[in-house]
Structure 1
Amino acid sequence: MPLYNTKMQVERDKLLEQVKKIIKHLRSSGGDFGDSNITNERNIYRSMTQALKDIGKYCDDYDIKITKLDSIKLLVFALPYIKERDLAMNSERYIFSIFKMLGEATNNKQINSNEQIRKSIAVCDKLFNNGNNLVVYGYIKGFQEALEYTKDK
């Protein structure tokens, strides 16, 4: 499916960079989620490439013109494909890792596993498991924008 509303070219190296970042956070979140399974880099990469079609459709459906791929969009849209390939993968841990990446991207604000974050992760995980991935994206994107707004405060 062509990405009609985009003039975006996704390079393999950019995808691999995102894979490395999410894997780093997945590995470092083990204490919060015990021995839960994390998926492998190949699964994440393949899932991200599949998610590009969904992102293109989303942009077409809502007339969104993008020229640069938002890493949050990529990570959230890849989640169903990751889970499809690896049923044992802990989606809460993956979502927490996305939140950790958000903190890192906004002036190194620490996103810790506190009660508020745990509740946000639980909400996102429930939404994801009920097939509401677009709502998960909106939820996390709103969180990102709130962090951006408060980064200098």
Structure 2
Amino acid sequence: MKFNTYSFEDVTCSFNIKNVGSASSTGAGLGSISIAMAGDRTAHDVAADGTIMVSKLNGKNGTITLTMQQTSELHKYLLRWYNYIDVADSSEWAAMVITIKSKNLRDITTCTGVSPQKLADRPYQAQGQQITWNLMAAEITES
């Protein structure tokens, strides 16, 4: 019997922006990462006679959703980044690069031109909660 194993422990997510520094998800309280492309890459047009015209669409932008513990070092890093770029020159607004590597799946996702969609919501309750950061990337490449 053949089987494969997946473990989130084998996934690393690194963050890099020149004037804020780097951070890693390893041991930083990250709970999940989701990558979604913003648009379709193909469109079909059907003529009255049934002929199909296929269009290849450009666009490699998308979103990154990161969920983490509200006390995590990663949340503190992203908050520091947000506060920095909020007052920095506009050329730094989308200067973040995020690289996600999965050792066991042997894949790499690189997100460039990353900017925050908005500041993460802040829950205050009796028990600690998860924080979700929604980020946008100008380009997402997967290999």
TM-score of the pair, normalised by structure 2: 0.30
Query: Which of the two has higher C-alpha Rg?
Result: 2
TM-score of the pair, normalised by structure 1: 0.28
Q: From the two aligned structures, give the one with the greater strand fraction.
A: 2
